[in-house]
Structure 1
């Protein structure tokens, strides 16, 4: 089987979709699938290249200022090479690469799958809403309707897809990670050499893009309520500032009077990211909208209790007792942080349950097997036979966590 993945970016600063594309394709390649990735070339040396995967990068054109990740050379290559593949897997919507891939697959009469990565959540639809409504009417709904399969990563995404477009070929397979990447975490004190302000503090970690969608305005105010009354905590904000939003977040923290208890590190990858995950005591992601956060999985496999909003679409965190799932408001966030900061035994229990959940259900090796089955059904025209692969797992997990 030969499968082509088309992505809007392979730059880690792009966020979760880049991580999913690279790690999923690498897992598929390990299982003998011939996998290629086509993506626009970013002006960065930090490009993720998965092992065993043929990656082709194409320069972005001037129109990328108006249509994200526009690349005429990528579109031409797709038109020429799409005939060599059995299936095309398109990642994200609204951007030029997904449109170019759709046009190429229609020309070649090849089946195609689309993973939207949370792009139909209410917050995302309301962001630049007028442009998206026009694009959806003219182009996007037709593409989704004609897709051979729509890949959802959460139950909420299944609902949002069903509400947005009439396509019954929706299948649910979650994201995952590679547990071996987290087997030997650095010593907790290692990151303190670079950031000595962390010494003898309880560390609350935010890991993700510094973007309005991530709820950092809520975090700034909630942390302010907590940090003004105590000196034993510190907030560590780790992630790229692609949109210049960090300046606004810092201003919020200054208004709260707690900027001296916050550290911004910028984007950290590899060993450095593992170092902050090792040193953190609590992970917080108060997003207004998420597809399926890879950062939550990373925090849980590192044994951290997590505080997330319902909009993170990860209800299992609450059902198995791995953390707190809250409404996106300052009071709920501040109460959850206080409870965890003051209860290390509860944090330890939540952390162990979260790690157990990830190991049972969210590992790329298992997920790649599920995806291969989905590909085979789609290529053979038997997607209607594709059952919800998670159903048996869910029953099994419920029994485990009730013990």
Structure 2
């Protein structure tokens, strides 16, 4: 099959959705399918040339947060019919509205991944944005969902939450598998290379956060909880890895200094490639007390690296983690984050080792890229575009 993913941007700094497009796309290509991406990016942007899949960058987008690219609609009108299926990724940007307009004009079906963007948490966290969305909803995104051949969710939790977000709501819902490629398994050389670059971590009990350093992720909860247990375990160390998209890291670092933790938290910035995998293997557990997480690719990656996950119950795959006993789960609050950290420290070495052994089994059973790829093909087979004329 020849598939087209439509996204606002292929910049991987934006987090999970584009990472999912990439990992699924690479695996589908290995399986013999053709996968291309259309985005609103500036064609001269470095992240476009660095993206491993073919990209039709149709920007640059106009300034502002909407990522409007005037040529996207005309390009889709000219080329969409040459693909077996069009998959729209994400809402609330011009690309989803443009895809809806064109596919409706052409009389061809499309499917859409919401990527957690209908989670009601966003309405509570950003009330002013919610007012703008309420105005926009009936004329745009409601129709984008209503007319899609399938609206794809990556967990039952995400599907149920989406129904609470806006009214009216109509969608042909379908839950599909999601995941990522098995991380490299040569742990020791990756670990040693990372520790060579970060010698302050050697001999420490490292807890890893890896993702956007954003208020939604609960990074402040980690710092505050760590401050309350730091004296109990002098070897405990936080590794806070990821890009700072909102200028929040300075405030977090200042808080760490006030708490006397400046030398016990490492901030390496965004990690990719071997450095990312080295960070996983240099850590004993992965921590994500997020206030909202549709799936959490980094959670799946941690499991694939054999690392237990300490997550909030706002990470939508928390039920699978609890069922498999591959991590610990608590509320996305200061008390909850403290409880989960204390529970981890209170576990015996044998119990931690047993939990570690269960992580890879969960990855294989629920979050592998093979299942992720084939589930999309199953959807496309059901809602394949009409025969070309």
Structure 2 residue matching 1:219: 3-state secondary structure: helix
8 Å CA contact retained: 1:125, 1:132: no
- 1:222 pairs, out of 200, 220, 225, with 225
What do residues 102-147 of structure 1 show as CA deviations (whole Å, max 9, x unaligned)? 1111111111111011111122233222222222233111211111
C-alpha displacement of 1:66:
4.2
Residue number in structure 2 paired with 1:182: 184
8 Å CA contact retained: 1:3, 1:36: yes
Distance 1:335 1:101, change over 3 A: same
C-alpha displacement of 1:77:
1.2
C-alpha displacement of 1:14:
1.0
Residue number in structure 1 paired with 2:271: 268
Residue number in structure 2 paired with 1:27: 27
- 1:258 pairs, out of 256, 261, 273, with 261
Paired positions, count? 377
Residue number in structure 2 paired with 1:331: 335
What is the CA–CA distance in structure 2 between the aligned matches of 1:107 and 1:229, rounded to whole Å?
A: 64
Residue number in structure 1 paired with 2:73: 75
Distance 1:133 1:329, change over 3 A: same
What is the CA–CA distance in structure 2 between the aligned matches of 1:341 and 1:274, rounded to whole Å?
A: 23
Gaps of 5+ in 2: none
Determine whether 1:169 maps to 2:172.
yes
What is the CA–CA distance in structure 1 between the aligned matches of 2:359 and 2:49, rounded to whole Å?
A: 27
User: Aligned runs of 1:229-244 on 2, under 5 Å?
Assistant: 229-244=232-247
What do residues 41-83 of structure 1 show as CA deviations (whole Å, max 9, x unaligned)? 25752448666x4321222232x4141x221122321122112
Structure 2 residue matching 1:59: 3-state secondary structure: coil
What is the CA–CA distance in structure 2 between the aligned matches of 1:244 and 1:123, rounded to whole Å?
A: 22
User: Aligned runs of 1:335-346 on 2, under 5 Å?
Assistant: 335-342=339-346, 343-346=348-351
Residue number in structure 2 paired with 1:89: 87
8 Å CA contact retained: 2:324, 2:358: yes
Farther-moved stretch of structure 1 (167-176 vs 264-273): 167-176
Residue number in structure 1 paired with 2:147: 146
What is the CA–CA distance in structure 2 between the aligned matches of 1:48 and 1:335, rounded to whole Å?
A: 44
Structure 2 residue matching 1:5: 3-state secondary structure: strand
Residue number in structure 2 paired with 1:385: none
Distance 1:28 1:48, change over 3 A: farther
- 1:206 pairs, out of 209, 217, 232, with 209
Distance 1:256 1:135, change over 3 A: farther
Distance 1:125 1:56, change over 3 A: same
C-alpha displacement of 1:259:
2.2
Residue number in structure 2 paired with 1:391: none
Determine whether 1:65 maps to 2:68.
no
8 Å CA contact retained: 2:221, 2:334: yes
8 Å CA contact retained: 2:180, 2:372: no
Structure 2 residue matching 1:119: 3-state secondary structure: coil
What is the CA–CA distance in structure 2 between the aligned matches of 1:245 and 1:149, rounded to whole Å?
A: 37
8 Å CA contact retained: 1:22, 1:48: no
* TM-score using structure 2 length: 0.91
C-alpha displacement of 1:98:
1.4
Structure 2 residue matching 1:90: 3-state secondary structure: strand
Determine whether 1:361 maps to 2:361.
no
Structure 1 residue matching 2:328: 3-state secondary structure: strand
What is the CA–CA distance in structure 2 between the aligned matches of 1:222 and 1:48, rounded to whole Å?
A: 41
Structure 2 residue matching 1:237: 3-state secondary structure: strand
Structure 1 residue matching 2:178: 3-state secondary structure: coil
Distance 1:50 1:171, change over 3 A: farther
Residue number in structure 2 paired with 1:376: 381
Structure 2 residue matching 1:217: 3-state secondary structure: helix
Residue number in structure 1 paired with 2:131: 130
What is the CA–CA distance in structure 2 between the aligned matches of 1:368 and 1:34, rounded to whole Å?
A: 12
* TM-score using structure 1 length: 0.88
What is the CA–CA distance in structure 2 between the aligned matches of 1:252 and 1:123, rounded to whole Å?
A: 26
Determine whether 1:157 maps to 2:158.
yes
**Aligned residues: CA RMSD:** 2.0
Farther-moved stretch of structure 1 (151-160 vs 119-128): 119-128
Residue number in structure 1 paired with 2:200: 197
8 Å CA contact retained: 1:153, 1:175: yes
Farther-moved stretch of structure 1 (229-238 vs 33-42): 33-42
What is the CA–CA distance in structure 1 between the aligned matches of 2:140 and 2:35, rounded to whole Å?
A: 27
C-alpha displacement of 1:186:
4.3
